[in-house]
Amino acid sequence: MTDVHEPEIRSYNMSQIKGKDTTPEIIVRKYLHANRFRFRLHSKDLPGKPDIVLRKYKTAIFIHGCFWHGHEGCKYFVIPKTRTQWWLDKINRNRAKDIENFQHLKKRGWRIITIWECELKKERYLNTLEALIENLLAKS
């Protein structure tokens, strides 16, 4: 049994996925749905309330904003010139919390996939989503 369509069907689905006002999270959700993956959203019973949870694959997906989660080396992660220390403290707290949540999840045997917002921009999202499916289906 397989969860994945043939590639040509998948790319057909893609044309319907990206419309106006699609947030990064919705892009990923629609793609997984189109490829018949079953998932839950924001599972409160798991550390960090992962954005997307695929129980069958014991995988938690986090879709992170590059600014709020401090995506190192990313052009979308630019600390404002005013109140710089305040922003740094805030983002460092978010990062520390992410690391803590990931550790808890790993201890419980969960696989974690982080997708950054910049990886879902127009010129990159298709590669990102295809890699995600490959990653999900790979034997761990």
Q: Two tokens at 34?
A: 């189109």
Contacting Zn ion within 24-53 (CB under 5 A): none
Contacting Zn ion within 77-116 (CB under 5 A): 116
Instruction: Please pick, from the candidates 32, 118, 120, 129, the single residue that binds Zn ion as defined by CB under 5 A.
Output: 118
Distance CA 77, CA 123 (A): 18
Nearer to Zn ion, 66 or 105 (CB): 66
Instruction: Please pick, from the candidates 26, 34, 74, 79, the single residue that binds Zn ion as defined by CB under 5 A.
Output: 74
Max Cα distance, the chain (Å): 55
Nearer to Zn ion, 19 or 73 (CB): 73
* Secondary structure class of 116 (helix, strand, coil): strand
Radius of gyration of the chain, Cα coordinates, nearest whole angstrom: 16
Q: Applying CB under 5 A, does 71 fall inside the site for Zn ion? A: yes
List 60's β-bridge partners, or say none.
53, 112
Binding stretches for Zn ion (CB under 5 A) = 66, 71, 74, 76, 116, 118
